[in-house]
Amino acid sequence: MVEELLRKLAQPTREAVVGSLNRSVRNRRPRYHEIDWPRTIRANLKHSQPEYHTVIQETRLGFGRKRTALRDIVLCVDQSGSMAASVVYSGIFAAVLASLPAVSTGLVVFDTAVVDLTNALYDDPVDLLFGVPLGGGTDINRALGYCQEHIERPAETILVLISDLYEGGNQPEMLRRMAALVQSGVQCIALLALSDDGAPSYDHAVAAAYARMGLPCFACTPDQFPNIMAAAIARQDLNTSAATRGIVTTRSAT
């Protein structure tokens, strides 16, 4: 099953994420296949030659070539029993993202304890997924604290909290910690479920509090996730991006 899902999800994820990264870095000396034609044409309209139906390309703008990771992505996954499908899909997407040199990917799973599976992403995804015990309580605050300690480039980090937000730990402290992550420059997303039906049960009060902080809060299906990640990497408004795909966010629902 995991191999089938990898075949189905790997290529769309790579294409969406790499395409978004290519457009996040500009190159003023592009090779032909790297030219961003719409921007190049706009930049050279003053050199248009109407009689020849052409534009002289005095300046060429292209997509950048990457030598180091441009963005850090952390998937922080609630492994309580109700999140079983999300854990499976999160592990698959994390393994795919980890294979892309343009991004640095981390995978943290939690119940009342926190386990960092980042190093395991480079091993067999099957071992990774079936090595995650499901069940137990939920301490989002502890998980966010772990992520907060290990984020080195806040302005270049996307933190995806995949949880139904039913906090079993210190909820006020958890909300303060999330607010601190946002204020530090981390791009935070609350993904209420990553499952085939995309219709989760979740803590509406916590989701509303996150939405007031500016966090996009929504659920999505595995087919929608690659484009959501691409939009996040491109620093697009995820509430708008989700709406265009028929995904209802907490902000738009309140």
Q: What is the pLDDT of residues 12-69, one digit of tens each?
A: 777 777 666 655 555 566 666 667 777 788 888 888 888 888 888 778 777 655 445 5
Give the lowest-confidence range in 7-16, 124-133, 157-166, 199-208.
124-133
Partners of 196 in beta bridges: none
Q: Is pLDDT larger for residue 21 or for residue 71?
A: 71
Task: Let me know the angle formed at the C-alpha of 54 by 51 and 60, rounded to the nearest 5 degrees.
Answer: 150
Q: How far is CA 238 from the centre of its chain?
A: 10
Q: What is the pLDDT of residue 131?
A: 67
Please say whether the beta carbons of 125 and 91 come within 8 A.
yes
Position 158 confidence tier, pLDDT thresholds 50, 70, 90: very high
Q: What is the pLDDT of residue 130?
A: 66
Please say whether the beta carbons of 210 and 187 come within 8 A.
no
Question: In the predicted model, is pLDDT for residue 143 greater than 50?
Answer: yes
Please say whether the beta carbons of 145 and 108 come within 8 A.
no
State the Rg of the chain over Cα.
20
User: What percent of the chain has pLDDT above 70?
Assistant: 79
Rounded-to-10 torsion of CA 201, 205, 211, 216: -10
Please say whether the beta carbons of 226 and 19 come within 8 A.
no
Please say whether the beta carbons of 136 and 80 come within 8 A.
yes
The whole-number average pLDDT for the span 73-95 is 86
Question: In the predicted model, is pLDDT for residue 156 greater than 80?
Answer: yes
The whole-number average pLDDT for the span 216-233 is 88
Average of per-residue pLDDT values in the chain: 82
Give the lowest-confidence range in 65-79, 85-99, 130-144, 200-214.
65-79
62 SS3 class: strand
* Domain ranges in the chain with CATH number 3.40.50.410: 2-20+67-253
At residue 150, what is the residue type? H
Question: In the predicted model, is pLDDT for residue 9 greater than 80?
Answer: no
Q: What is the pLDDT of residue 20?
A: 66
**CA distance linking residue 137 with residue 110, whole number of Å:** 9
User: CB-based contacts of 87: which residues, under 8 Å, 6+ apart?
Assistant: 77, 79, 109, 129, 132, 134
Give the largest Cα separation in the chain, rounded. 73
Write down the CATH number for the domain with range 2-20+67-253.
3.40.50.410
Please say whether the beta carbons of 60 and 30 come within 8 A.
yes
Q: What is the pLDDT of residue 187?
A: 95
Q: What is the pLDDT of residue 254?
A: 42
Question: In the predicted model, is pLDDT for residue 191 greater than 70?
Answer: yes
Position 95 confidence tier, pLDDT thresholds 50, 70, 90: confident
Q: What is the pLDDT of residue 252?
A: 42
The whole-number average pLDDT for the span 145-172 is 94
